[in-house]
Structure formats: structure tokens, C-alpha cells
Structure 1
Amino acid sequence: MIKKETFNFLKDLIDNNNRDWFQDNKSRYEEAKQNVEEFADEILKEIKKIDLSIPSELPGKKTMMRIYRDVRFSKNKLPYKNNFGIGISSAGKGGDTPGYYIHIQPGESFVAGGYWMPQADHLKAIRQEIDYNTQDLLKIIEAKEFMAHFGGLSQQDKLKTTPKGYDADHDHIELLRLKSFTVSEKFKDSDLSSSKSVQLIIASLKQIFPLTLFLKQAIGNG
């Protein structure tokens, strides 16, 4: 579970996002980081039973995103992120492939997964797979439990026009217009601090797994 002290550290960091404060509270950061690493280890232990493509030797600490922000090309010059992030895929933490993400932030925690902004050749392959095997995808994303968790695929990253090679009156043109194929589910701080936190996260990731499998098969990585 995520300790309340971890959430308290993040709350204080949000109010004191500067290097002096962070250095003065480095021990709190290290304790919070260790808590999240241990939580990631618990998640990995269970998700590896579901998604066999995740490397068996992948440890929690290798899935954690850096808390230090790259401010070189950003107008936001705050030096630290206000969250902990856990990224899991067959490529480990990163990699241009479908996977899972756990976001830990006071009042803004969520679980997500799928494939965010795939590269051009992968996007083309996914659209082709959707065109050829639409029913396979619909069976996943229209399933009762999938809808209960996520409400459907995110519509955030989407073309306003028709993708090249497809007709505007295609029966599933709205799916083909997507540029990302992701879902997300919000969680309360109390959910992640409860004794059932791992089970709650895994229940969500379990529903994402068929989507990642469809997407990986589409790009030849299944």
C-alpha cells in the first residue's frame, strides 16, 4: 500500500517545489520513494502472472519515473514532479510499446494503459488491425467489466479529419481517427492506502491486458 506519509510528502512538495526545501526533506523523499518501489514490487509480482511478456527479473525500482523534471524546454521551471509514476511494459519502464502506468498523486491518482501516441508505422499497423479485425477490439473495449472500469477508450488524442486510406463513412471511423489507444481509471488516496490497494490496481490492469495484447499483435510484438 501507499503510506499516508508518502502522500503527505507529495502534498508538502506541491507547496514547496524548490531545491532548498527538497534538500532539507531528502530523507522524507527517500522514505517515500522506497515505499513506492516496494508497492511497485507487489504490483509486478501479480501482473507478471497475467502478462507473461513482462520481464521476470524486472524490479520495482526499475519501473519508477524520475521525480526530477527536465526544465530545459519547458515554461514550467519547477524542479520536481508532484507525483510518483510507475511504468510497466515488456520493454521494462520505457520502450515504444503498449504497457501500463500507475500515477500516484494526492487527489489525482490513476491507473492507465494501452499505447500512448505510437510512432507512425505502429499507428498505421494498429489502424489496419482495427480495420481488419474490428470485432476483436470491440469485444475487448465494449465488455461490461472493461466499461465499468474505464468507460471506453480515451478520446483525447484524435484526428479531426479522416486518416489516409480510409473513407469518412467507414463504420468504425471514430476508432480509426484515434492517435492514442489508452484507458484510465481514477483512484482515491484512501484506495491506495488501504490493505486492498494491490488487488484494486491489479483488477484494473487485468482489464487493460487484452487491449495491450491486441495492440502488440497489431505491431508484430505480440
Structure 2
Amino acid sequence: MAIQPSTFDYLNLLKENNTREWFHANKKTYDGVKANFEETIKALIESIGTFEDMRGVEVKDCNYRIARDVRFSKDKAPYKTWLSASFSEGGRKSGKMDYYLHIQDGESFLGGGMYSPTPEQLAKLRQEIDYNAQELKDIIYNPKFIEVFGEAEGESVKSAPKGYAKDHPEIELLRKKQLFFWHKFTNEEVCSENFVKQVSDVCFTLKPFLDFLNYVFFSEQEPTIIL
């Protein structure tokens, strides 16, 4: 299963002609692009389902609409110029940390992690790092994990977060406001016949990190939120 090269042609044309009039005039082409992407999503649900509980998850539970919500955005372009889907137990609306797939000319990637945490989630993560950072470090500093994802992305506070000493031995991790990873794919990889396997392999490598976050965020422990 592969994404057709014409997908990138269509997305680039949409970027140049991002209007409702152009979109509807080329709806037949979009329908073909969407159908191809949905076939890929279906194959990924099956493949990821070999190591995640994807029972009951359908394509519609993973796929994102191409129409943008422009109500609160300065950019009023009506459509996204990429395709995207996310995969997790219960689907993308479950609230759990998931595998996010992004398809765009020269900018395709698979990513996941703590991107927009709630104050409670951030407090829980910092509390876990303070008590036992080694479990997280064993995951994100594993040589295989680094080979696939490199270093963590995301913003950090400039100094120590409230409630933690500047000389804390894990201060660099505690300073994180975001903690996410991504693996980029070339256009050639996206359009290759083994793309689904490539994505699934990357997801499998990311799984221990997402499992860690889901445990920290959704276990019954109560975080101490310092304002």
C-alpha cells in the first residue's frame, strides 16, 4: 500500500489555489486522493493493531478533515494543504497520546508525544521525572530510539519550573513544556509499496514513549500543581 505521487501534485495545486471555488471545481481529483489515503489508513489500522488495541477503530476515527477551522485564525485559507491521521486505542478523539501521520510534499512525518499538555498533565510528568526519571531516560535515550527519532522537540521554560531547584539533576527534562518526537519520510518513501510497514515500524519504536505518557497522564495519581 502506497500513497500515489499524484497526491503531492494535488496538494501543491491546492496550496496555490486555496479557495472553495477551486476545491469544488476539482472535487473529483480530491475524492481520488482521499480514497487512496483512506486505504492507507485502513492498512495502518490493521498493522498497528498487531501491537496496539485498535478494536473497533475505523478509518473515520483516524482521518482528519481537510477543511480548516478558521474561526479563530488569522489565516482564512479554507483548506489544509496536507493529509493527516492519528492512531490510538479508541481513535483520535480518545484523548490518549497517539501516533500522528502527516503527508505533505517534502514534509511528511510520523510523530507523537506531549505537544499541548494540560497543566495537570505537565504537573504529572514533572512529578514523575522528579520521582523517577530513569524510566523515561531509558526510553528516549535508547540507541534505537535516537536512531529513529533523534532528540526531543518542543519548548522549555527558561529557568527552573516553579517548585523545582535550578540544580535539580534532571532539570533539563523538568524544564520541558513540550516533549515530542518525529521521524521524517521522503516523498519516495511515502510513495513506496512498503510505506505502511515503514510507518508501523516507526510507531512500534515510539510505542514505549507513548505508553509511558499514557500511564503518567491517565493513572489515578493526583499531581501537585504549583501555581
> C-alpha deviations, 1:132-159, integer Å up to 9, x for none?
22111111001111101111211x2211
**Structure 2 CA distance for aligned equivalents of residues 112 and 23 of structure 1:** 31
Q: Could you tell me which amino acid in structure 1 is paired with residue 19 of structure 2?
A: N
Q: Matched residue of 1:102: which SS? A: strand
Residue 15 of structure 1: aligned partner: 16
185 and 40 in structure 1: CA distance in 2 versus 1, 3 angstrom threshold: same
**Structure 2 CA distance for aligned equivalents of residues 221 and 45 of structure 1:** 27
Please, what TM-score do these two structures have when normalized by structure 2? 0.92
Q: Matched residue of 2:99: which SS? A: strand
Pairs within 5 Å for 1:35-184: 35-52=36-53, 55-154=54-153, 156-184=154-182
Shift of 1:4: 1.2
Shift of 1:221: 4.5
Shift of 1:172: 1.1
Query: Quick check: 1:99–1:115 contact (8 Å CA) kept in 2?
Result: no
| Paired-residue identity, % | 37
Residue 188 of structure 1: aligned partner: 186
**Structure 2 CA distance for aligned equivalents of residues 108 and 217 of structure 1:** 30
Q: Matched residue of 1:90: which SS? A: coil
Shift of 1:189: 1.0
Q: Could you tell me which amino acid in structure 1 is paired with residue 46 of structure 2?
A: K
Q: Matched residue of 1:49: which SS? A: coil
5+ residue gaps, structure 2: 221-227
Aligned length: 219
Please, what TM-score do these two structures have when normalized by structure 1? 0.94
Let me know the Cα RMSD of the aligned residues.
Answer: 1.5
**Structure 2 CA distance for aligned equivalents of residues 97 and 8 of structure 1:** 33
